[in-house]
Amino acid sequence: MLKNSAENLHRSVLLEESIRLLQPEAGGVYVDATLGLGGHSEAILEAAPDVRLIGIDQDFEAIGYAKERLAKYGERVLIFHSNFAEIKTVLAEAGIEKVNGVLADLGVSSLQFDTGERGFSFRFDAPLDMRMDADSDTETAAELLETLSEEEIADLIYKYGEERLSRRIARRIVWKREIGEPVKTTRELAETVEKAVGYNKKDKIHPATKTFQALRIAVNRELEILEDFVRDGIDVLKTNGRFAVITFHSLEDRIVKQNFQKLSGKCFCPPRIPQCVCGAEKRIEILTRKPVISGEAETTENPRARSAKLRACLKLS
């Protein structure tokens, strides 16, 4: 049996492509805003001599594995248990003003997804938790389903899961609550969705997949913090510094794409407005006109890579 090490708990996605776009420079300082199991961080540290790396993750367990993996780089690596929404505070704590590059590989790691008790997957029966930062006192997915109204649950599943049948699913979740059987576990949620929308075992995708995605995004406020992170991540770059982001669903990718466009000078104001009010300004050059995606070899070996999209930009002076 394989030993549980960072290398075999999560396969880094678009690894070579992200290093090619980030172009680590000798002696440069880089931020891996989603350290995870340290795969991208290790590649950044190996890409050029004397690179220094600041790793951020909100998951203590992942940090433990990454620390072990990156121990050989000694003082060249500094690791912070934090949310990347706090990137500016983290850099201030590290005594660093500007960096040469920032990378974010969004979403959950395989370590989180494959650890049943974290509650991210209906492949295991476990409490419906889904917090990436298991030490925080933010609400779990089960708590959200217990406290939100039927309409709020439906809106959340529609908006973050792009689930057409969100109203039917929300109705059933709230009905379970009303009869004194609130949905508290991954299996109960999967079954509730199956009953609400029907389930044909031949379906390629389980009907609860989108609902699980929606709840995970809501619990971790994944989309709410992304726009500010793109701006802050670019703010902390030196001139000619590079910013690269890997996303895993269209909602995230849209936020990154639109913010890159805005920061590269494209105006999103309605046509007849006399003066731009959307904040468009030319601060970056986009390096990826189209997002970089995984090749067949990677998607065959790692199905998670199928939905990955990598975008990058360069900070102008």
Ligand X SMILES: C[S@@+](CC[C@H](N)C(=O)[O-])C[C@H]1O[C@@H](n2cnc3c(N)ncnc32)[C@H](O)[C@@H]1O
Contact residues for ligand X (CB under 6 A)? Answer: 10, 12, 34, 36-40, 56-59, 62, 83-85, 105, 107-109, 132, 225
**Which two tokens mark 159?**
């908006």
CB of 103 to ligand X, least distance (A): 8
Q: 45 vs 169, which CB is nearer to ligand X?
A: 45
What are the contacts of 116-120 at 24+ separation with CB within 8 A?
119/185, 119/186, 120/212, 120/216
Q: 132 vs 230, which CB is nearer to ligand X?
A: 132
| Residue pair 160/218 in contact by the 8 Å Cβ criterion | yes
HSE at residue 166, side-chain half, CA atoms within 13 A, is 21
Q: 164 vs 306, which CB is nearer to ligand X?
A: 306
Q: 24 vs 107, which CB is nearer to ligand X?
A: 107
CB of 141 to ligand X, least distance (A): 16
CB of 127 to ligand X, least distance (A): 18
Distance of alpha carbon 195 from alpha carbon 3, whole angstroms: 39
**Coil/strand/helix, residue 57:** strand
CB of 85 to ligand X, least distance (A): 6
Other Cβ atoms less than 10 A from the Cβ of 140: the count is: 18
Q: 12 vs 294, which CB is nearer to ligand X?
A: 12
| 171 sits in which H/E element | helix 166-178
CB of 2 to ligand X, least distance (A): 16
CB of 294 to ligand X, least distance (A): 14
If DSSP states are collapsed to H, E and C, what string results for 103-128?
Answer: EEECCCCHHHHHCHHHCCCCCCCCEC
Distance of alpha carbon 23 from alpha carbon 25, whole angstroms: 6
User: Residue number with the shortest CB distance to ligand X?
Assistant: 36
Is residue 213 packed enough to be buried (19+ CB in 10 Å), middle (13-18) or exposed (0-12)? Answer: buried
Distances, alpha carbon 11 to alpha carbons 5, 66, 122, 189, in Å: 11, 13, 21, 28
Q: 221 vs 282, which CB is nearer to ligand X?
A: 221
CB of 79 to ligand X, least distance (A): 11
Q: 84 vs 160, which CB is nearer to ligand X?
A: 84
Distance of alpha carbon 219 from alpha carbon 71, whole angstroms: 32
| 80 sits in which H/E element | strand 77-81
CB of 56 to ligand X, least distance (A): 5
Identify which of 268, 292, 293 has the alpha carbon closest to the alpha carbon of residue 281. 268
Q: 84 vs 183, which CB is nearer to ligand X?
A: 84
**Which two tokens mark 138?**
């933010």
CB of 256 to ligand X, least distance (A): 14
Q: 12 vs 211, which CB is nearer to ligand X?
A: 12
